[in-house]
Amino acid sequence: MTEETDRRRRRIKQLWLALALLLLVAAVLVVPPLVSVSNYKSRITQLMAASLGRPVRLSSVGVRVLPRPSFVLTDLTVEDDPAYGAEPILHANTVVASIRLLSLWRGRLEIGSVSVDEASLNLVRTADGHWNLDPLFRSVAANAQPGAAPRTSRRLPALEASNSRINIKNGVEKLPFSLLSTDLKFAQGNPGEWRIELRGQPARTDLSLGLADTGVVRLQARVGRAPELRQMPVHLDLEWRDAQLGQLTRLVFGADPGWRGELTGEMHVDGTADAAQVQTRLRAAGVHRAEFAPATPLDFDARCGLVYHYTGRAIENLACDSPLGNGRIHLAGALPGEGVPAHFTVELAQIPVQAGLDALRTVRSDFGPGLEALGTISGKISYGENAAPAKSPAAAANHTAKARPAPARPLAGSLTVEGFQLSGDRLTTPIRLPRLVLEPAATAPGQPRALAATVDLPAGGATPLNLSARLTLAGYQLTVRGQAALARARELARVASMRDAGALDNLAGEPMTVDLAAAGRWMPAPPVAATNLPTGLAAAALASQMSAPRHLSGTVVLHNANWKSDYLANHVEIAQATLHLGQGQIRWDPVEFSYGPVKGTATLAAVEVCATPTPCLPQFELHFDSLDAVALESAILGAHERGTLLSTLIERLRPASSPPWPRLEGTIQADSLILDLVTLTNATATVRTTPDGAEIENFDARLLGGQVHANGSLETGDKPAWTVTAAFQKLSPPEIGKLLHQRFTGAAFDADGKIQLSGYTGKDLADSALGRLHFDWRHGSIAPAAGSAAIPPALAHFDRWSGEAEIAKGAVTIKENQIQQGTRKLAADAAVTLDTPPKMTFAPAKEAPPKR
């Protein structure tokens, strides 16, 4: 009987199950086509808008029964508050909104969850610190209070987003930071409690990043209800894992400063926005520069705890600890908020100097990797903004004007460096400082607080170098005064990573006298100026900012030194030279030098950073009292004759072995310039050097009672080659005649022409000379000098003599010419040999052929 009853019950259950399945299949197949969902489009739009608290737009609505009744929304857009911008807060092509079944039994239609895929969410932060999600939380929190009326209460639907994107905006400006491949869950669990889960990959839209190396951000949070948003209880766990330091800095700064290593960050928050207990942990492993991997990479594990008050923007009970090497760093303090002084304490216990050196050359790309440091840093520094010691009521009662307490110093304490030694990186002798104490320094109003130290460093001079350092949180200031041997100065310049320190390699002589001041940042300045540049230029600008530029100013004085360069045949002896640094310029002024037989003064200036697309060439000025052109050429290029000082260096001028000249431009002045038998006075020229020669422009000088203006070029090779174009104006005929051992009289003599010549000696130049010369001489006469050949009668007196002359084979030969005597026109053949002295010969005058 019992078995029969059980079988009957099982049959009834099976029938009911089959009937339910049949009804369900019928509903799936029959109900959707019969229901006109488009009639409910407006109702669903209002329902979504009421659930989210923002206006909603959608294109179409469909219905889905399995796996649960849902609406399929197409082209959903959730508008944002106009105070946060014109772009929607959420946009998705397809959205599945599931229906709460229990709400249907109560005769209402409610959305239980919203599921989106490949959506775009905009998070906007205004200038006053508010986010566009604040109104949503505030609205839901207000309607979720126990006293809220049922008709106005609404429940926030659960939100699930997969493979979506979160954009971040600062007001109306869309920042390049985004979260890609984001999975987001936002659901209301217990009444008045929301759970948030997020997983995403940080990215930057204006750069191509290796997304696998930017790490993964995970967030889990629980938010409770409260009358006000700032009172809502929050439990938050945030983690950023597997981030490579190189890609992370590109993500944050937009440029790669060359840092490498693995970074992991954690944050845990409990409490409310007005009293949040925050615990953070930042771990780094294998931190180093991309150019080198140190024997012991920099690792650290910093843990911090604090209490944060959002309304007052205040931090209390801050305590951070981090081991570093064999020592430890402890930071404690508070930022109580507006109107209340902040105070901090930093305590270092046996921190290795090597760890500080590794940290410095990790953030700075220009610090030598070969340096090694010994020593430890210990001490305690306290900081308080205008903090005076608190007084008891009894002490306040006894206070008098005569017993006014002195205000507490903003900085107090000291740091002591014991056993400091710096070696390596081509330091022949280590730098040793047995004891160095950093103490708070007096500062002017408005200046940052600093620690200062002063030490004497022997450097091979008559007096040691006096180093004074001021260290702030942002950077440093360093002054150096005293004398240093040139060899030691070269080593110290390399240790300090001074720009163009290699130039000191070519100097030798007595110790230099220095008076220098340097300042710079520990870290790069915030890269904000490049945001409006095109992507390529912005990346270059940001990369240059990451080098943490330094400012160097002061003077360096040389005495009795000599300088040798590869592109000069011999060394330059420097009697005295002063180097001026500062204002973005490097300037040698003055330089008293001698180069073989050539003596003069010079200035040389170069800008540190060129702001123009074309290169900014160094500018020079040379001045000579008396200059012999042959001696100058021999000194610079080498001498041809055997037995001279520079004859053994002549082969270095061949293109295969001659180093290129540097690119310079400037002016050369000579009170007198000796060109073999003639002397030019007040000579000036603009010269621009090239890797294989020089270009001469605007050469002007007084010559033979007149003026010469010329342009030319010099090319170095097997032997120097000159090309000169010149114009001679108002030359004195008597001076010309004296040069040619003739007696010339008459009006001014004019000429112009072009000549090419090469060689080292006067004979080489004369034999190789090729060119043409046009001359014009009015109202002149030539009388023979004693012992000279007869002069053609036509040249005894003439109204005008003009013509063309050919320069070749060591002579100037007058070719086509015309001598005018009244209406009579004659021609004469004449030649001038380019000997020492020159000789002028004539042929009998003849009738000039008629001009065509």
- Rounded to the nearest 5 percent, the helix, strand and coil shares of the chain are 20, 50, 30
Determine how β-strand 343-352 pairs with β-strand 371-384.
Answer: antiparallel
Q: Strand 275-289 vs strand 314-324: parallel, antiparallel, or unpaired?
A: unpaired
- Flag whether pLDDT at 515 surpasses 90: yes
Question: Is pLDDT of 100 > 80?
Answer: no
- Mean pLDDT, residues 470-485: 89
CA distance 569 to 565: 8
SS (H, E, C) 536-592: HHHHHHHHHHCCCCEEEEEEEEEEEEEECCCCCCCCEEEEEEEEEEECCEEEEEEEE
Question: If you average pLDDT over residues 375-387, what whole number do you get?
Answer: 83
196-216 pLDDT tens trace: 899 998 888 877 776 678 889
In the predicted structure, residue 381 carries a pLDDT above the cut 70 = yes
Each residue's pLDDT tens digit, 708-762: 999 999 887 777 888 999 999 999 999 988 888 888 999 889 999 999 988 777 7
Q: Look at residue 743 in the predicted model and tell me its pLDDT.
A: 87
Residue 836: what pLDDT? 76
pLDDT at 667 over 60: yes
User: The whole model's pTM is what?
Assistant: 0.67
Question: H/E element holding 369?
Answer: none
User: Facing residues of 92 across strands?
Assistant: 76
Closest CA to 760 of 636, 643, 664: 636
Average pLDDT over residues 96-112: 63
User: Which residues 6+ apart lie within 8 Å of 32 measured at CB?
Assistant: 63, 64, 65
Range in 268-277, 302-311, 407-416, 600-609 with the lowest mean pLDDT: 407-416
Q: What is the pLDDT of residue 651?
A: 41
Q: How confident is the model at residue 267 (pLDDT cuts 50, 70, 90)?
A: very high
Percentage of the chain lying above the pLDDT 90 cut:
25
> What is the model's pLDDT at position 321?
94
pLDDT at res. 92: 86
Residue 184 burial class via C-beta count within 10 angstroms: exposed 0-12, middle 13-18, buried 19 and up: buried
Domain limits of the chain?
Answer: 1-34, 37-205, 212-311, 328-387+409-440
Rounded to whole angstroms, what are the CA distances from 214 to 184, 246, 457?
A: 19, 9, 46
Name the band, by pLDDT with cuts 50, 70 and 90, for residue 160: confident
Residue 170 is predicted with a pLDDT of 84
Mean pLDDT of the chain, nearest integer: 78
Q: In sequence order, what are the residues at sequence separation of 6 or more whose Cβ sits closer than 8 angstroms to the Cβ of residue 568?
A: 595, 636
1: which 2 tokens? 């009987």
- State both tokens at 303: 């843990």
Q: What is the mean pLDDT of residues 614-635?
A: 81
Please enumerate, as own/partner, the contacts of 464-471 that have beta carbons within 8 Å and a separation of 24 or more: 465/514, 469/438, 470/441, 471/438
pLDDT at residue 774 in the model: 94
Provide the pLDDT confidence category of residue 218 given band limits of 50, 70 and 90.
very high
If you compute the radius of gyration of the chain from its CA atoms, what whole number of angstroms results?
Answer: 44
Q: Is residue 644 pLDDT above 60, yes or no?
A: no
Token pair of 536 as six digits: 């390529």
Name every residue whose Cβ is closer than 8 Å to that of residue 266 and which is 6 or more positions away in sequence: 237, 238, 239, 240, 280, 281, 282
pLDDT at 569 over 80: no
**Chain centroid to CA 120: how far?**
35
* Rounded percentage of the chain residues whose pLDDT exceeds 70: 77
pLDDT of residue 650: 40
Spatial CA neighbour of 683 closest among 629, 617, 759 = 629
Average pLDDT of span 135-161: 58
String of DSSP letters for 780-807: EEEEPPTTPPPPPGGGTSEEEEEEEEEE
Number of H helices and E strands in the chain, helices first, is: 12, 44
